[in-house]
Amino acid sequence: MKKNVIIFSTIGIILLILIGICCFIFFDENHKVAVLCYHNLATAEEIANFPDEKDWVIDVNNFEEQLKYLKDHNYKTLTIDEFYKWKKGEIDIPYKSVLITFDDGFLSNYHYAFPLLKKYNMNATVFLVGEFIDSAEQEEWDGNIKTYMTKNLLEKSKIEYPNIDFCSHSYGLHYENSIKENSIISMKDDTVIFDNNMTETKVFSYPFGEYNHNIIEALKQKGYIMAFRYGPTKDDYRKASRDDDDFKIPRLNISHGMEIWKFGLRLLLPN
């Protein structure tokens, strides 16, 4: 008899704790948002031709599976403007909200990602490397994943895909150690060239995830409102909260894809 009381009390306490955790997760006003970071996309056959690039490429089928998961589980995909307004406490968003982002501006984004995002009626943000776009020539997809959207495709995308926001991944600073070597002045100049040649924006994602005081200061002086990180360590891949520094917003790295059960679980985890 006494043993039963202990068992039932223990089960009761565990249930109360679980209900408490659920309430905390679902009704916490200052909940966190998963900012998903992708790079390139390709079919499994295409990826096989570029073994050195596999960390940066998601299988198109896996990408669609993830979008379908978001849709089936009623996730809202935020625009960059909605994300900013949420961050500043200007609007509330559903607990199940994510921000989908792509770095670099690969041709595969136009070829594979944009039509799928349109199919599922979802928003996303692409951080472009200006000089890669300016020097790109190829528009037809031939499976070469090391190609970027052309300027013409960027302009077409702005009309064809109003659900996509375009922001800066720098105009010409996407090379190794560029951020370490650059001054406030060169960073400020870079933002002007980006605005004049790509699209006007006040949102940045750091090339290779690298940033320092000078770069942040330059962005602030040019009126930028947010900048996104990428790592650098595994611990830095976490959800974003309103408390995060606006110029050090963390993202989750799913560039190389993720099994769907893991993807779902990752979104549910509080951090």
Nearest CA to 146 out of 165, 166, 129 is that of: 129
Sign of CA dihedral 100, 105, 110, 111: negative
Residues 9-38 that bind Zn ion (CB under 5 A): none
**Other C-beta atoms lying within 10 Å of the C-beta of residue 68:** 14
> Whose Cβ is closer to Zn ion: residue 61's or residue 144's?
144
Which range binds Zn ion by CB under 5 A, 9-17, 97-105, 106-114, 150-158?
97-105
Give me the least distance between CB of 179 and Zn ion, in Å please. 11
Give me the least distance between CB of 105 and Zn ion, in Å please. 9
> Whose Cβ is closer to Zn ion: residue 104's or residue 131's?
104
Interacting residue with Zn ion among 59, 103, 165, 190 (CB under 5 A): 103
- When computed from its CA atoms, the radius of gyration of the chain, rounded to whole angstroms, is 21
Give backbone dihedrals phi and psi of 164, rounded to 5 degrees, phi first. -105, 130
Nearest CA to 245 out of 260, 259, 224, 264 is that of: 224
Give me the least distance between CB of 140 and Zn ion, in Å please. 24
CA distances (Å), origin 52, targets 26, 37, 182, 191, 217 = 41, 19, 28, 31, 35
104 binds Zn ion (CB under 5 A): yes
Q: Specify the residue for token string 């198109």.
A: 60
> Whose Cβ is closer to Zn ion: residue 59's or residue 104's?
104
Give me the least distance between CB of 113 and Zn ion, in Å please. 16
Give me the least distance between CB of 170 and Zn ion, in Å please. 9
> Whose Cβ is closer to Zn ion: residue 104's or residue 165's?
104
Positions that interact with Zn ion (CB under 5 A) = 103-104
